[in-house]
Amino acid sequence: MKWEKILVRYGELSTKGKNRKQFINHLRNNIKFSFVDLPNIKVHAERDRMFLTSSDDEEIQELIKRLPKIFGIQSFSPVASCTQDIEDIQKTALEIMESLDTEDKTFRVTVKRTDKRFSMDTYELQTTVASNVLRNYPSLKVQMKKPEIDLRIEVLTDAVYMMAQVIPGAGGMPLGSNGRSLLMLSGGIDSPVAGYMLMKRGVRLDAIHFHSPPFTSERSKEKVMDLANQLSHFGATVRLHVIPFTEIQQSIQAQIPDNVSMTTTRRIMMKIADQVRLEIGALGIVTGESLGQVASQTLESLTAINAVTSTPIFRPLISMDKLDIIDIAREIGTYDTSILPYEDCCTIFTPSCPKTKPKLEKVEFYESFKDFDELIKEAVENREVISFPKKKENVFEELL
């Protein structure tokens, strides 16, 4: 089936008042960014919907494949066009039905006649097309309320447009419409899911990762780079800040009692993240913590960790069950990468009996014997910044 264009429906964006245009502009820019490799795509935004067109049928098929990952889209429909000739309309209707699974499905035809000069009235066109479809697809059953297949026909002055699929979009808000935050990306299952959920609410992300060679391998770093790249597939560049953390972790192990060392580690990570956040102009910090999942995620531990900053900390998974988090990880495509057996700096230094209810005053007392500020400053200054998705290298560059 050759489609003429894609009709995009905004969903939640339609509830916006005077700011609607701003949200629509974010969505349009994100679509252009996501499909920069498809040069013939044209985007035309209207108040209540958006049209994507291309003269290249392969590009239209690629749009259909990739649009479900773009936040801010409630649903979309591939659209075919034909002339106002009734035979052409019936032919196009049958071609659309041929592209669908019609076996034992419910069906109706919906007509919108914008061109009132069209030779048939709405009811006449509706019954003519429906009768022809039913003759060719006898297993279809007519149902006027909530059918499984709704063949929609819109008669305009210059053409007739038809569609029958409503493909779910990612929903949420367009990326960038709610500012920027910094995601603490560990390499496990939870943090990429937390990043995805904030992105769905329109938050553009940088990510920060703590790397402790030789205790953590290059493969563990590559694993996190893969996760950052996978998050960039949802419509925006993701910058990954890799923090050299070895010296800090060794200092913690030497100075802090074993049972509260993980709390101090998390507190220093939060301090570093806060400094990076300030440098890049982000407004919040995002973590993948879920209440009670591990010792560092009890209410007492989170309180001690929060005490080092007044920056908003977003924990979208805080009340979620682990199995639900895994389901989302599988759905967004990060699960298989997250379970690769390369340990991060938190797992390799996990104490045997960590405190689940650390006292803030005791943690601060132990930390007072070591000045971590200079180490934190050096770690921030010496971080590596990598942007995703990676730009394609010019294979002819060396020949120039």
Nearest to 81 by CA among 26, 152, 179: 152
Q: Across-strand partners of 210? A: 243
DSSP state of 1: -
Please check whether residue 152 is in contact with residue 113, taking contact to mean a CB–CB distance below 8 angstroms. Answer: no
Rounded CA gap, 71 and 194, in Å? 15
Please check whether residue 169 is in contact with residue 157, taking contact to mean a CB–CB distance below 8 angstroms. Answer: no
pTM for this entry: 0.85
Q: Which two tokens stand for residue 335?
A: 């699960």
In this structure, the number of other CB atoms found within 10 A of the CB of residue 16 comes to: 15
- First-to-last alpha carbon distance for the chain, in angstroms, is 44
In this structure, the number of other CB atoms found within 10 A of the CB of residue 231 comes to: 26
CA dihedral 284, 285, 289, 292 (to 10 degrees): -70
10-residue mean pLDDT profile of the chain (400 residues): values are 90 77 90 89 88 92 92 94 95 95 94 92 96 95 94 93 94 92 95 97 96 91 96 90 95 91 94 97 96 90 95 96 96 95 74 84 93 95 93 45
In this structure, the number of other CB atoms found within 10 A of the CB of residue 19 comes to: 10
DSSP state of 300: H
- pLDDT given at position 62: 93
Strands (E), the chain: 5-9, 42-45, 49-53, 75-82, 106-113, 141-142, 149-155, 160-163, 167-168, 180-184, 204-211, 238-244, 284-286, 313-314, 384-388
CB half-sphere exposure, 344, CA atoms < 13 A: 22
- pLDDT given at position 71: 93
CA angle (235, 202, 303) in 5-degree steps: 120
Q: Across-strand partners of 241? A: 208, 385
